[in-house]
Structure 1
Amino acid sequence: MQKLLIIAIIIVNFTFIYFFIRDLLKHKADVMKEPANPIWTPISQIVIFFFSTFGISDFAISTAIFPKAKWVSMKKLPGTLNAQDVIPIFVMSLAYITTVNVGIKTLLVCIVCQVIGAYIGPRFVVKLPENTIRTFVIVGLLVATMLIVAGKIGLISANGTATELFGWKLVVTGFLLFVYGALNNIGIGSFSLTMATVYAMGMDPISAFPIMMGGCAFSLPIGSMQFIKLDQYSRKITLFSVFGIIGVLIAVFLVKSIDTSVIQWIVIVVLLYSAYSLHLGNKKAKLID
């Protein structure tokens, strides 16, 4: 089953790559005219996905950087967050699924539920006004912050040992992963939410990684193909996301142990600052209206 799962991940992600390359070729004259910086964007991708490999939300970090740098509009931010993740998360998922033990039934239920949520989401997201998207992103940043803080001060237990879920726990987890898949499409990352859910269900904390990466390895390309169809993403940032693979490989293969405690506190400060900045942007937009 694990081999079949890996083959399915490869097929889905290469399908996304095909659609993305086809879209790039169709708009090749416009790609480099997009505002993302051709030097700092690749560097940011390496850093973002280095931290993401350790479970620090790349959605949250990207949201802290991209609007402030004016690399993408708020309207195209959700699609960009999803599309830029596909290739690095593809590599990340293969690394974790092949090295971390999780019950195959639990893994499949989580993945299928998240994929369904991700497929449904984009068609609703593109209809949302920019201020509404900004508000959802602010909520996502605050939720991610609260979950990190809860883990830091011991409100979320991280001492479980289970590698598989049964009964009501599996049903509840599946439903929550469906919701997280849909939330991905409005710029609310699922990593922190999935971690909190896995901890709450009494699973081994390391089990969160193949569940997170496995779910996203399907839900992100499927959701992102919808954003490509709807022309609601940054092609340039997504193109430069291939540099994120460097960050992933450094984290997975070269770094044997890392104290993420200090990094997490820095991320908390950045997330709160970003949420406040977006809130100011919302207030300014309302004044203009």
Structure 2
Amino acid sequence: MIKILLGLIVLINLGFVFYFIRDLLRHRSDVMSEPATTWALPFSSFIIFLLSTFGISDFAISTALYPKAKWVSIKKLPGTLNTQCVVPVAAMALSYITAITVDIKTLAVCIIAAVIGAYIGPRFVVKLPANTIKKFVTAGLIIAALMILAGKFNWIPANGTATSLSGWKLMLTAILLFIYGALNNIGIGSYALTMATVYAMGLNPSAAFPIMMGAATFSVSTSSIQFVKLADYSRKITLFTSTFGVLGVLVAVFFVKSLDTSMLQWLVIIVLLYSAISMALSLRQKGEA
């Protein structure tokens, strides 16, 4: 079962890598002229995905950083958030999924639901006006901050014992994961939402992890292929995070045995809320104008 899952992860990520490299080669003269700062990208990519490996959302940090630094337009932000994390998230999945403690039917239904949502989403996202995307991104920042707070104060239950779901619980979880897969495409990360959902359904935390990681790696790969085809992402940021971001993951997995992320989480919460308020105020000013 582990081999099948890991094989599928490798396969779908190779699909993304194929489309991404083909797109890079077609636009190789434009990549390095994109606005993201070349000397800073290796450091930001490494740190973002080092922290992501310890559970601090790369979607949230990137959403707070990239628009402020003017590295990518709001229009291309959702696509960039997805494409930049495909290879690092695959590295996390391959490093961490060592045992399947969840019923195969539950795992398959959840992953398929998230993938379908992720596949459909990009076709609609690229048609959204920049201001609409900005509103969704603002909501995503607030949700990410609240989810981190919920984890810190143990508002999210994590004491379930079940290893499978059935009936209405499985159906509801599948519907929610379909929505989360679609939300990825507008810049709202699904990892924390998936974690909260499977915990609320009574699953054992060890059973929840394969669902979270599996849904994330399959859904972002699927949606990212669509964003690459639609050319609605930053090639430069994705190129750097696909290399230096993976290094951050590997350092976290193999060299950093423990990291006190408590203070970092408070800092991230402050940054997220500040970014959300700033974005909301800019929308209000534009509306008044």
Mark the CA change 1:250 to 1:162 in structure 2 (over 3 Å): closer, same or farther: farther
TM-score, with structure 2 as normaliser = 0.94
Q: 1:151 aligns to what?
A: 151
Q: 2:259 aligns to what?
A: 258
Alignment-mate amino acid for residue 73 of structure 2: S
State the SS of the aligned residue for 1:228: helix
Q: 1:55 aligns to what?
A: 55
Q: 1:33 aligns to what?
A: 33
Alignment-mate amino acid for residue 69 of structure 2: A
Q: 2:43 aligns to what?
A: 43
Is the contact made by 1:138 and 1:279 (CA closer than 8 Å) also made in structure 2?
yes
Give the 5 Å matches for 1:42-191.
42-99=42-99, 101-191=101-191
State the SS of the aligned residue for 2:258: coil
* Count of matched residue positions in the alignment of Structure 1 and Structure 2: 288
Shift in Å, 1:204 = 2.7
Alignment-mate amino acid for residue 282 of structure 2: G
Write the distance in 1 (CA, Å) between the matches of 2:79 and 2:19: 14
Shift in Å, 1:217 = 1.6
Alignment-mate amino acid for residue 213 of structure 1: M
TM-score, with structure 1 as normaliser = 0.94
State the SS of the aligned residue for 1:212: helix
State the SS of the aligned residue for 1:161: coil
Q: 2:220 aligns to what?
A: 220
Alignment-mate amino acid for residue 243 of structure 1: F
Asked whether 1:276 is paired with 2:277, we answer: yes
Write the distance in 2 (CA, Å) between the matches of 1:60 and 1:206: 24
State the SS of the aligned residue for 1:159: coil
Write the distance in 1 (CA, Å) between the matches of 2:269 and 2:207: 23
Structure 1: gaps (5+ residues): none
Mark the CA change 1:38 to 1:207 in structure 2 (over 3 Å): closer, same or farther: farther
Which deviates more, 200-209 or 90-99? Answer: 200-209
Q: 1:286 aligns to what?
A: 287
Write the distance in 1 (CA, Å) between the matches of 2:104 and 2:96: 13
Alignment-mate amino acid for residue 264 of structure 2: I
Shift in Å, 1:99 = 4.5
Q: Deviations over 1:162-207 (max 9, x none)?
A: 3332332222111111110000000000011011112211223344
Is the contact made by 1:79 and 1:232 (CA closer than 8 Å) also made in structure 2?
yes
Is the contact made by 2:2 and 2:99 (CA closer than 8 Å) also made in structure 1?
no
Give percent identity, aligned residues only. Answer: 62
Which deviates more, 204-213 or 66-75? Answer: 204-213
Shift in Å, 1:143 = 1.2
Asked whether 1:247 is paired with 2:266, we answer: no
CA RMSD of aligned residues (A): 1.6
Write the distance in 2 (CA, Å) between the matches of 1:272 and 1:228: 30
Is the contact made by 1:131 and 1:285 (CA closer than 8 Å) also made in structure 2?
no
State the SS of the aligned residue for 2:101: coil
